[in-house]
Amino acid sequence: MIAPLESFDSNQTPGAHESTEPLAVARANTFASQSDEIAFQQKKQQIHQRMVGCLDIAAPHEFKSREALDELRGFIEMFDDEVDLSADEHTRMMVELPWELFGNGPLEPLLADPDVSDILVNRAHEIFVERNGLLEPCDVIFADDAHLLQIIQRIVTQVGRRIDESCPLVDARLADGSRINAIIAPLALDGPKLSIRRFGKRHTSLQHLVDNGTLSQSMAAFLRAAVQARQSILISGGTGSGKTTMLNALSSCIPNDQRIITIEDSAELILQHPHVARLETRPAGSEGVGEYSQRDLVRNSLRMRPDRIIVGEVRGAEALDMLQAMNTGHEGSLTTIHANDTVDAISRLEMMVAMTGLDLPSAVVQSYIRSGISLVVHLARQQGGSRCVMRISELLSAPGGMEFRHAFSYRRSGVDANGLTTGKFEVGDRPECVDVFPEFGVQFDDSAFSRLQTAQSTDATDCTADGTMDNAK
């Protein structure tokens, strides 16, 4: 029998990282059309079924050594003849069949590719991947829906979860930190769906984000100072706009002597900090009990002596507890919110507080938000795949409630020869929070703000970013 794969490490899949040249040639020769590829995948499934029926395959780790793998391939040779393979198909079979037995099947080469950041399986014969910020269709396919479901079940089982008709939706985290979402019938139409967001072990710093044009050097310097001076920050943006990446980068600016508690639905943050306690929510078990929500964890975290609380993404009632924490000694906490612009981010936060069922007057909620959150950083994904910080805004009291003071913004200026839009990061009004930076011993040069106020100058960093400002206002 095939052993359970709880401790399976896809980096250790037999054959997955072997010399790829003969395999690449064989793949190129056999990938003539999608129907050829479907036929190959079906042959592979056929041999797989025969092998599972005949072999007593103990544990994957027994097949990691070259000798053991050669032995396994000996068996493959035996079944080869039954399905009439060409020489190229045979080469592929020798490498790819072990992926079926012990790994993630056709997904293995995608999971081994460090440039792939998202793998989106719409159905057995339709997979898209994101490379360098661009989504593209990919020629990897599964034999059929049953094959895809089998791999989904393996991935889900290996993280201690289950997926079937009675529990057709799973959100989980893989051992390498990647986030997965699987959804099957009856909720998913036209076949099972699998989405993998890969974070790997990559750590993104603010400087990386400056280097790739997400924000300017002076925006990064301001945000670094604001985090050090315990300003609570809300990061907003649409799906995949880079909120979690920005949260990671900002967290790395927290001084090393402070204790951080992270709370996430599926843990993605990779903090390079000496003092981090990571918490993750738990869905209800099969009997419908045992659920621990973000709200439970935020409340519990207050008893864990945190200096800063980081909530991966506020989605519901935990927003109120988070704001309470920010107002009562845990200033400098950070979180993200799904929103189309800065104003929308605050309205959504208000709505989430209302979801607690407490009938608080809007003025009270707004004043809570204003005193809890100091800055909103809004990100948007551009059409060509790059991400930009569209606005860094400060929340201030105003006679009618609250108002925004925009410290930085991104302004599009045109389109370059490659069809990419060009733009500039502009410096806006000096935020009031800069006044408190010295209290925290944080040095910050605010001359860029005053320069704009007198001469309408712009930040020196020009940015090329493709796409529209659809997410930004």
Ligand X SMILES: Nc1ncnc2c1ncn2[C@@H]1O[C@H](COP(=O)(O)OP(=O)(O)OP(=O)(O)O)[C@@H](O)[C@H]1O
Indicate whether 423 belongs to the interface with ligand X (CB under 6 A): no
231 binds, among Mg ion, ligand X, none (CB under 5 to 8 A by kind): none
242 binds, among ligand X, Mg ion, none (CB under 5 to 8 A by kind): ligand X
- The residue (of 295 and 381) whose beta carbon lies closer to ligand X is 381
- The residue (of 73 and 243) whose beta carbon lies closer to Mg ion is 243
Q: How far is the CB of 379 from ligand X (least distance, A)?
A: 7
Indicate whether 118 belongs to the interface with ligand X (CB under 6 A): yes
44 binds, among Mg ion, ligand X, none (CB under 5 to 8 A by kind): none
Site for ligand X, residues 23 to 52, rule: CB under 6 A:
none
212 binds, among ligand X, Mg ion, none (CB under 5 to 8 A by kind): ligand X
- The residue (of 229 and 392) whose beta carbon lies closer to ligand X is 392
- The residue (of 211 and 435) whose beta carbon lies closer to ligand X is 211
Among 91, 117, 340, 409, binds ligand X (CB under 6 A): 117
Indicate whether 204 belongs to the interface with Mg ion (CB under 5 A): no
Burial of residue 364 (CB within 10 Å: 0-12, 13-18, 19+) is exposed
Q: How far is the CB of 351 from ligand X (least distance, A)?
A: 18
- The residue (of 69 and 111) whose beta carbon lies closer to ligand X is 111
Q: What angle do CA 396, 400, 403 make, to 5 degrees?
A: 30
Burial of residue 160 (CB within 10 Å: 0-12, 13-18, 19+) is exposed
CB 196 within 8 A of CB 179: yes
In angstroms, the CA 404 to CA 467 distance is 25
Q: How far is the CB of 54 from ligand X (least distance, A)?
A: 41
Among 150, 212, 258, 461, binds ligand X (CB under 6 A): 212
- The residue (of 228 and 245) whose beta carbon lies closer to Mg ion is 245
214 binds, among ligand X, Mg ion, none (CB under 5 to 8 A by kind): ligand X
Indicate whether 178 belongs to the interface with ligand X (CB under 6 A): no
For the record, the structure tokens of 420 come out as 């990419």
Q: How far is the CB of 242 from ligand X (least distance, A)?
A: 3
- The residue (of 244 and 382) whose beta carbon lies closer to Mg ion is 244
Of 170-178, 206-214, 222-230, 339-347: span binding ligand X (CB under 6 A): 206-214
Q: How far is the CB of 107 from ligand X (least distance, A)?
A: 16
Site for ligand X, residues 222 to 241, rule: CB under 6 A:
237, 239-241
Site for Mg ion, residues 235 to 264, rule: CB under 5 A:
243-244
- The residue (of 237 and 467) whose beta carbon lies closer to ligand X is 237
Among 125, 224, 243, 391, binds ligand X (CB under 6 A): 243
The 3-state secondary structure of the chain reads: CCCCCCCCCHHHCCCCCCCCHHHHHHHHHHCCCHHHHHHHHHHHHHHHHHHHHHCCCCCHHHHCCHHHHHHHHHHHHHHHHHHCCCHHHHHHHHHHHHHHHHCCHHHHHHHCCCCEEEEEEEECCEEEEEECCEEEEECCCCCCHHHHHHHHHHHHHHCCCCCECCECEEEEECCCCCEEEEECCCCCCCCCEEEEECCCCCCCCHHHHHHCCCCCHHHHHHHHHHHHCCCCEEEEECCCCCHHHHHHHHHCCCCCCCCEEEEECCCCCCCCCCCEEEEECECCCCCCCCCECHHHHHHHHHHHCCCEEEECCCCCCHHHHHHHHHHCCCCCCEEEEECCCHHHHHHHHHHHHHCCCCCCCHHHHHHHHHHHCCEEEEEEECCCCCEEEEEEEEEEEECCEEEEEEEEEEEEEEECCCCCEEEEEEECCCCHHHHHHHHHCCCCCCHHHHHHHHHCCCCCCEEECCCCCCCCC
- The residue (of 65 and 132) whose beta carbon lies closer to ligand X is 132
Site for ligand X, residues 364 to 393, rule: CB under 6 A:
386-387
- The residue (of 15 and 385) whose beta carbon lies closer to ligand X is 385
Q: How far is the CB of 173 from ligand X (least distance, A)?
A: 13
Indicate whether 117 belongs to the interface with Mg ion (CB under 5 A): no
In angstroms, the CA 274 to CA 88 distance is 51
Of 243-251, 302-310, 404-412, 456-464: span binding ligand X (CB under 6 A): 243-251
Q: How far is the CB of 242 from Mg ion (least distance, A)?
A: 8
CB burial string 129-139: b at 16+ within 10 A, e below? bbeebeeeebe
- The residue (of 45 and 117) whose beta carbon lies closer to ligand X is 117
What is the contact surface with ligand X in residues (CB under 6 A)? 117-118, 133, 197, 209, 212, 214, 237, 239-245, 386-387
Q: Contact residues for Mg ion (CB under 5 A)?
A: 243-244
